[in-house]
């Protein structure tokens, strides 16, 4: 059973999400929070598998609540999906940088939301290649940022650095395999090793590391 904490300051949104989740045999609602501090407190107390986190909430916003949840060793198994009104919300990159496993827009179809929860609960990153490309493109057009290489970047082999850059550019494992003329299994192995070396929780965080380290070509 996958336990889900719902954090949103709108009563109607929480009610709708609860009704949707409770209609599924493998999902259960661990609790509800109407502000960021309550979300943090309930996450600490309940240790849900997944938190559906709204961005704009009273107290502390969803980005800060996400940061604190991810920073808590006791919540290492808890994954956060950030809910946004717009797909390229200005907070999306910050959410990923602070450890969110992905994001969804609020008008996502119910079936897609349920699939997303299950994927994230299994340890996958909710960041499709097409969405990744749009996020990177959005930030590539902003004023130049000084790269901040990951402190463990030197532990990667040249091939692993190349692959992290391709992950950051939004390529799937199959696309990476085709680009580098290797098998999909080999691509997956390289991605997994890079994640371990960089301490990335999931593929979404690997995208952030790639961007911050200057491994993504605009």
Q: What is the mean pLDDT of residues 88-111?
A: 77
91 lies in the same domain as 40: yes
Q: CA-CA distance, 216 to 167, in Å (whole number)?
A: 9
Amino acid 199: pLDDT: 86
CB-based burial, 6-43: b 16+ in 10 Å, e otherwise: bbbbeeeebeebeebbeeeeebebbbbbbbbbbbbebb
Q: What is the mean pLDDT of residues 179-183?
A: 93
Evaluate if residue 69 carries a pLDDT over 90: yes
> Residue 193 maps to which CATH number?
1.10.10.10
Q: What is the mean pLDDT of residues 104-112?
A: 85
Tally the domains of the chain. 2
Residue 54's domain spans which residues?
A: 2-126
Total Cβ atoms within 10 A of residue 76: 11
Instruction: Please tell me the total number of residues recorded for the chain in this structure.
Output: 218
Q: Angle CA(196)–CA(132)–CA(73) in degrees, nearest 5? A: 40
70 lies in the same domain as 100: yes
Q: CA-CA distance, 176 to 194, in Å (whole number)?
A: 14
CA dist 166 → 61, 133, 173, 191, 210 (Å): 31, 10, 9, 10, 9
135 assigned to some structural domain: no
65 assigned to some structural domain: yes
CA dist 74 → 17, 186, 187 (Å): 26, 33, 31
111 lies in the same domain as 196: no
142 assigned to some structural domain: no
Evaluate if residue 88 carries a pLDDT over 60: no
Q: CA-CA distance, 118 to 141, in Å (whole number)?
A: 33
Q: Hey, what are 3's tokens?
A: 């336990």
Structure letter (DSSP) for residue 144: P
Share of the chain above pLDDT 90, in %: 47
Amino acid 94: pLDDT: 75
Amino acid 39: pLDDT: 96
Amino acid 51: pLDDT: 96
139 assigned to some structural domain: no
| Nearest CA-CA partner of 172 in 188, 192, 186 | 188
99 lies in the same domain as 175: no
Q: CA-CA distance, 57 to 37, in Å (whole number)?
A: 9
217 assigned to some structural domain: no
Total Cβ atoms within 10 A of residue 199: 11
Q: How confident is the model at residue 37 (pLDDT cuts 50, 70, 90)?
A: very high
Q: Per-residue pLDDT tens for 116-168?
A: 899 888 877 666 555 555 665 665 555 555 667 778 888 999 999 999 999 88
């Amino acid at each position: 059973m996958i336990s889900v904490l719902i954090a949103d300051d709108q009563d109607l949104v929480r009610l709708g999400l609860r009704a949707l989740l409770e209609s599924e045999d493998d999902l259960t609602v661990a609790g509800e929070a109407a502000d960021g501090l309550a979300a943090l407190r309930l996450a600490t107390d309940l240790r849900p598998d997944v938190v559906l986190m709204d961005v704009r909430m009273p107290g502390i916003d969803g980005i800060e609540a996400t940061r604190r949840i991810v920073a808590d060793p006791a919540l290492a198994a808890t994954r956060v999906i950030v809910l946004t009104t717009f797909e390229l919300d200005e907070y999306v990159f910050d959410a990923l940088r602070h450890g969110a496993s992905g994001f969804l827009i609020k008008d996502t179809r119910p079936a897609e939301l349920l699939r997303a929860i299950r994927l994230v609960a299994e340890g996958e990153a909710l960041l499709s290649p097409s969405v990744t490309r749009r996020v990177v493109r959005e930030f590539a057009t902003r004023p130049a940022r000084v790269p901040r290489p990951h402190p463990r970047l030197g532990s990667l082999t040249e091939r692993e650095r190349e692959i992290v850059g391709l992950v950051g550019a939004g390529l799937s494992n199959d696309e990476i395999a085709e680009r580098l003329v290797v098998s999909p299994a080999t691509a997956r192995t390289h991605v997994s090793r890079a994640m371990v070396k960089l301490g990335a929780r999931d593929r979404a965080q690997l995208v952030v590391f790639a961007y911050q380290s200057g491994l993504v070509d605009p």
